Amino acid sequence: MPKFTEMKLQPFLQDAIRRIGFEAPTPVQEAVIPLMLAGKSAIGQAHTGTGKTHSFLIPIIERTNQAADAVQAVIAAPTRELAEQIHSELQKLTEGTAIRSGLFIGGTDKQRSIDKLKTQPHIAVGTPGRLRDLVQEDALLAHTAKILVIDEADLAFDMGYIEDIDQVASRMPKDLEMYVFSATIPEKLKPFLNKYMESPEHIRIGERRPVAEGIEFPLVPVRSMDRKKKLLHVMSGLNPYLAIIFTNTRKEAEEVGEFLSSNGIKTGRIHGDLTPRERRKMMNRVRDLEFEYIVATDLASRGIDIPGVSHVINYNLPEDLEFFVHRSGRTARAGLQGTVITLYEPSDEDALVRIEKMGVPFIHRDVKNGEWSDLKERHSRSNRQKTDRELDEKIRRQVRKPTKVKPGYKKKIEKQVADIRRKEKRKELRQGRRK
């Protein structure tokens, strides 16, 4: 694998890459950086934790003309937290240079953003709605920018932001270079891509193994226990550095958070009902390691980077099973190990089978009094019942019905079936011993 030192990058950028501790590019960086340096539009399909943020930041910085007093690149991210993270990484790479960057996100004073734009940034990072507003008011002069990056495009589509991005893109040059990064490419997103991208390079990273290596996947039955109490039992067997408990709804996140707090467990909460100020304050507390546990909705599985997550707990399965992969991607980052625990009920079986087909190797386990133990393989009972049914059908085909029906003939047939079944079972046992 090539190293960053082998790439033809400016000395200040090589120094910055070395300063943040990067040596060799990840697969998505290795594929995307040369394309962006060459000005070739691309769609990058890559899951969380693959290094895609630096795959577009590095070439954008390399191509930025520090002497030009104009916007040269616009980066759109669907959530405020993600935009903040991208801008933070951008600042690390441009420290000590004349490259100007600006962060423009919703939930902040728009007039202050407009005032900041009296001096145009070389690189603008923001949420789609705020970028659209600033472009429409001729505060952000995006018409000079030849590069548009859309991060987490499928999430932007799900959240209804593609129209905002379209408004920004329509003000940019006709020879616009667009770079789209997304875990999946929904069919409904394709008309937008076709509008602005002519024969883009399509890069797919990690399709065969969407789940990060180094993760263990315990699957824990809830059985007849209250789900919140089962969660407490699971937590009694853990000693996490930081764990995220995923729920499907904001209401559920609040309920679980309140329940844990009432049981003496200090818990952070991240969901869409928090105000921008509350979310920023919560993220600062999380990064200051105030909590061992965070209860979150799927906003945190895509739009927020929380470092140091050792455990993920699926309080319930996500409604969109693709989010199981995104949730799992919160842990085992940068070569570390991780654990993804999933609580389940029999009604989840179909969904679990589909997740297994994504390459997730579940381990059937349970915890009692803080001690973990292995359980029988989840499919063993249904497999045994299926085998028994097949054996009965086979036996009944062997038993002949009498030509003349006499009283008690059904009992005689059942006796013959039982005798043959016993012989077949003994035969299976003998074969098993030989193995």
Cβ-proximal residues to 401 (8 Å cutoff; 6+ apart), any chain: 409, 413
* Domain covering 215-374, topology: Rossmann fold (3.40.50)
Lowest mean pLDDT segment, chosen from 237-251, 308-322, 419-433: 419-433
What CATH number is given for 4-204 in this structure? 3.40.50.300
**Mean pLDDT on 35-53:** 87
Residues of the chain with CATH 3.40.50.300: 4-204, 215-374
Note the helical H segments in 99-242.
Answer: 110-116, 128-136, 153-158, 162-169, 190-196, 227-236
Q: Of the candidates 378, 316, 307, 305, which has an alpha carbon nearest to the alpha carbon of residue 341? A: 316
Question: Is the model more confident about 127 or about 283?
Answer: 127
Cβ-proximal residues to 36 (8 Å cutoff; 6+ apart), any chain: 42, 55, 56, 59, 60, 63, 147, 177, 179
**What percentage of the chain carries pLDDT values higher than 90?**
61
Overall residue count recorded for the chain in this entry: 435
With 0-12 / 13-18 / 19 or more C-beta atoms within 10 angstroms meaning exposed / middle / buried, residue 12 is: middle
Cβ-proximal residues to 107 (8 Å cutoff; 6+ apart), any chain: 80, 275, 276, 277
Rounded CA-CA distance 299/16 in Å is 30
Mean pLDDT (the chain, rounded): 87
Q: Please write the tens of the pLDDT for every residue from 96-140.
A: 999 999 999 988 889 999 999 999 999 999 999 999 999 999 999
Backbone phi, then psi, for 297, in 5-degree steps? -90, 180
**Mean pLDDT on 312-326:** 90
List the beta bridge partners of residue 295.
245, 269
Q: Where are the beta strands (DSSP E) in 248-292?
A: 267-270
- Where residue 170 falls among pLDDT bands split at 50, 70, 90? very high
**Mean pLDDT on 57-70:** 97
Residue 209 confidence (pLDDT)? 47
**Mean pLDDT on 73-85:** 92
- Where residue 208 falls among pLDDT bands split at 50, 70, 90? very low
Question: Is the model more confident about 264 or about 393?
Answer: 264
